[in-house]
Structure 1
Amino acid sequence: MDWKVRFIDYPTAFRKMEREIMEAIRQVLVGGDLILRKQLEAFEEHLAQFVGTRYAVGVNSGTDALHLALRAVGIRPGDEVITVSHTFVATVAAIHHAGATPILVDIGDDHNMDVRLVEQAITPRTRAIIPVHLNGRVCNMDPLMEIAQRHNLLVIEDAAQALGATYKGKKAGSFGIAGCFSFYPAKVLGAFGDAGAVVTNDPQVAQRVRLLRNHGRTPDGDIAFFSFNSRLDNLHAALLDLKLPRVPQWIAYRRRLARLYHQRLADLPALRLPPPPVEEGPFYDVYQNYEVEAEGRDALVEHLKAQGIEVMLPWGGRAVHQFPALGLSHFALPKTDQVFERVLMLPMHTELSEEQVDYVAQCIRRFYSR
């Protein structure tokens, strides 16, 4: 279909940086720097500086970042890990692959973990909590960290959608024992394929992740244990390092578009919008996605598609516990269930123009005026 407004626009994003991208690729290939070389080390250093942690370890995806982080902090069979169902399946899959049991709690109005429900989900087997900073908004971390400290629990942040987001001035990924990032192409900082990273202030966790990502191989060539192949390729690292300095301006532009959406749509009673960007207050959101709740969601989606606007339902329209094969349907999550009857994501990316946002808003208003 010939879309008037794309949900994501990879070709335009590439063309904007084509000369720099191709030169970075040329330098990597001419130098033969392909696996675990200087470009990766440079990106890891710069990413840690950006997030505000001592260490960053590049891995091959956000999924592996979660999986390896869980293993690195000692999560094992018999343990329970608390998280949410409104997340990509990778969050819960990482718990499963570490041998632990996922315990799902409900979300709040901001679509993030309802921290008030965490304490009642804790059992003697609970070892960790994974808050998911969804859509570029950090969870309510002060009370969550207090709960974790009180019960001696580890916090591993799923910050896949929240690079650059802050809570009370502290960046996503820097609160817990480890933070996990995805650099999937559609992210605020995206590679040209899969890529991810684990950040931490703990030298032992950082070293453990380095071993886990590279077959358990030590710097002197010994094998410490059976492990995985989850290295971040140098080529991706070089391109991510090229883009990283632009992240603040990209975030500023996303916040500008979010403000415009809010101005155009906030008065519609049929819509529930995410909180608008504010300069004061605890939350600095980066709007990885612009996720709304809408009355008559399915009809609205069809209407927007007919107008040439590409929209998406998160995770294909189902939360993790709503996939029967995963065996998680026994969790009672009424707020999550309610949200997934209404939720959709509007276009949000740095190639989106203000005129296109106006067009999307006009089409939505036209739908609800019928």
Structure 2
Amino acid sequence: MRIPFSPPFVDDDVLKEVEDTLRSGWITTGPKVKALEHEINQLTGCQQTLCVNSWTSGAILTLKWLGVKAGDEVIVPAYTYAATALSVIHCGATPVLVDVLTDFTIDPAAVAKAITSRTKAIIGVDIAGLMCDYDQLKEVVNRPEVQSLFVAESEVQSKIGRIMIIADAAHSIGAKYKGRNAGVCADVNIFSMHAVKNITTAEGGAISLQLPSNFDPKAVYDLMRLWSLNGQTKDAFSKSNGSGWRYDILFDGLKVNMPDICAAIGLAQIRKYSGQLIKDRAKIANQYETFFNKKGWAQPPTLKDGSRESCYHIYALRINGITENERDAIIEKITAEGIAVNVHFIPLPMLTAFKDKGFNIQDFPVAYDNYAREISLPIYPQLTKEEVESDMYCS
């Protein structure tokens, strides 16, 4: 039996939505993107959503809008995919790495210790579908001693009046924190719609806004939309619908818009996400949970606790009492059975680009321990009961 790790969910509705886009004659940013943005607003309850071509470009756009520049610092967990920190570097700023908790999420106490007068933002990373403790992060940035360190150097920073909290929600669309949906728990919440995500557009991302009351979210959306289209005052769809050919470039924007042909895939999926797809994922996760809770050698991931419910994006199993090399040997045996598994993630300080910047994994013991014992098992709606059982007994 061969079991892939995370194939995209493609059914007849996806095919029809894509075909409709192709037959419409309009495949770049247009009505399908607007429809997907509306669906994300409805799913999350956020103020506004802008779809872009990747999580990474969404993070870069957000940081540039915030005014992050050379000399600034952004706090990032050591346990995340490289894009979280690379988005900071691409803005000329410095990522400041901190350790995580045993549930894989950023450690608020470590964040508090890392804040300086150069800190402009904190990026909390939701891992495997489980959200960070955003209220605790908000409590940290609102402490008087932290507020006294904050130096606003842009109009946006002045309006926020504190360190901005950004959610790397790449894994968490559909997750919940204290009764709130992913997408509304940080100032800016950025989803990924990469091919392996719960909702995919092949490649893509979405910036969901939940800004303080002194912001006009629609005005921020409009400005970010300009940022995503080279700072151009009219997009191609507007011009094709009779708004005239003449345009202006208002500032040095980016080119990171999502095309309709990609949005069509996500649009078909999100319409059945809450009613079907996330429930299918939960069912598989609970099958794993029932099995591994009986095994003394297994440390199952947190799926629910007193304040959070995962969206079941990854089943991040840890094996008790093993080394990194022993974990790798286990993965080789599982792979030999035809079952594709993965590891989420190699901590940033173990990667060459970050080692070269002076980071040392020994400074992040929890991140390393989480990584060294972790094996990500397949979890997706198409997975059959027989395949789930095969995954469990090979693990």
Structure 1 match to 2:309: 284
Residue 368 of structure 1 is matched in structure 2 by none
Per the alignment, in what secondary structure is the counterpart of residue 136 of structure 1?
coil
1:160 & 1:108 partners in 2: Cα distance?
Answer: 18
Deviation at residue 128 of structure 1 after TM alignment? 0.6
Cα displacement (A) at 1:330 = 4.1
- Cross-structure match for 1:221: 247
Offset of residue 277 of structure 1: 4.2
Would you say the 8 A contact 1:106–1:334 is kept in 2? yes
The answer to whether 1:355 aligns with 2:355 is no
**CA 1:343 to 1:328, structure 2 compared with 1: closer, same or farther past 3 Å?**
farther
The separation in 1 between residues aligned to 2:103 and 2:289, in whole angstroms, is: 15
How far has the Cα of 1:71 moved from its partner? 1.1
Aligned to 1:166: 176
* Partner of residue 190 from structure 1, selected from 194, 200, 212: 200
Q: Report the TM-score when normalising by structure 2.
A: 0.85
What is the rounded CA distance, in whole Å, between the counterparts of 2:219 and 2:70 in structure 1? 21
Q: Is the 8 A contact 1:259 1:277 kept in 2?
A: no
For residue 277 of structure 2, what is the aligned residue in structure 1?
250
Q: Secondary structure at the match of 2:61?
A: helix
Distance 1:53 1:255, change over 3 A: same
Q: Contact between 1:258 and 1:277, CA under 8 Å: does it hold in 2?
A: no
> d(CA) in 2 for partners of 1:27 and 1:250?
22
| 1:175 Cα deviation from its structure 2 partner | 1.9
Contact 1:57 1:197 in 2 (8 A): yes
Q: Measure, in 2, the Cα distance between the counterparts of 1:125 and 1:210.
A: 28
From 120, 134, 137, the equivalent of 1:141 is 134
- Contact 1:199–1:206 (8 Å) recurs in 2: no
Retained in 2: the 8 A contact 1:72–1:205? Answer: no
Q: Percent identity?
A: 28
Give the match for residue 208 of structure 2: 199
SS in 1 for 2:128: helix
Structure-1 separation of matches of 2:65 and 2:358: 25
Alpha-carbon separation, structure 2, partners of 1:271 and 1:102: 33
User: Could you state the TM-score of these two structures normalised by the residue count of structure 1?
Assistant: 0.90
Q: Any conservation in 1 of the 2:130–2:303 contact (CA below 8 Å)?
A: no
Structure 2 residue 20 is the aligned partner of structure 1 residue 27: yes
Q: Distance in 1 between matches of 2:284 and 2:182?
A: 21
Q: Please give the secondary structure, in 2, of the residue aligned with 1:127.
A: strand
Q: Deviation string for 1:15-38 (max 9, x for gaps)? A: xx1x32332223222222222311
1:157-215 Cα deviation digits (max 9, x unpaired)? 10011001010111122122211111011100012x21111111433432332111100
2:332 maps to which residue? 302
Matches within 5 A, 1:317-356: 318-326=346-354, 327-330=357-360, 332-356=363-387
1:221 CA displacement? 2.0
Structure 2: which 5+ residue stretches go unaligned?
148-161, 211-216, 235-245
Deviation larger for 117-126 or 298-307: 298-307
C-alpha distance 277-120 of structure 1, shift in aligned 2 (>3 A): closer
Residue 275 of structure 1 aligns to a residue in which SS? coil
Q: What is the CA–CA distance in structure 2 between the aligned matches of 1:246 and 1:359, rounded to whole Å?
A: 27
RMSD: 1.7
SS of the equivalent of 1:156 reads strand
Distance in structure 2 (CA, Å) of the matches to 1:255 and 1:69:
31
Q: Would the aligned equivalents of 1:73 and 1:205 in 2 still touch at CA under 8 Å?
A: no
State the shift of 1:362 in Å.
Answer: 1.8
Distance in 2, matches of 1:187 and 1:26, equals 22
Query: What corresponds to 1:110 in structure 2?
Result: 103
| 1:155 equivalent in alignment to 2:180 | no
1:7 is aligned to 5
DSSP 3-state at the match of 2:124 = coil
Contact 2:73–2:96, Cα closer than 8 Å, also in 1: yes
Post-superposition offset of 1:328: 4.6
In 1: Cα distance, 2:54 partner to 2:385 partner: 32
CA deviation digits over 1:291-316, x for unaligned, max 9?
A: 1222331221122122222111224x
Who is 2:239 aligned against?
Answer: none
On the 8 A contact 1:264/1:358 being kept in 2, the answer is no
Inter-CA distance 34–216: structure 2 relative to 1 (3 Å threshold): same
* CA separation of 1:349 and 1:211: change in aligned 2, threshold 3 A: same
| Residue type of the alignment partner of 1:290 | Y
CA–CA separation in structure 2 for the residues paired with 1:186 and 1:210: 25
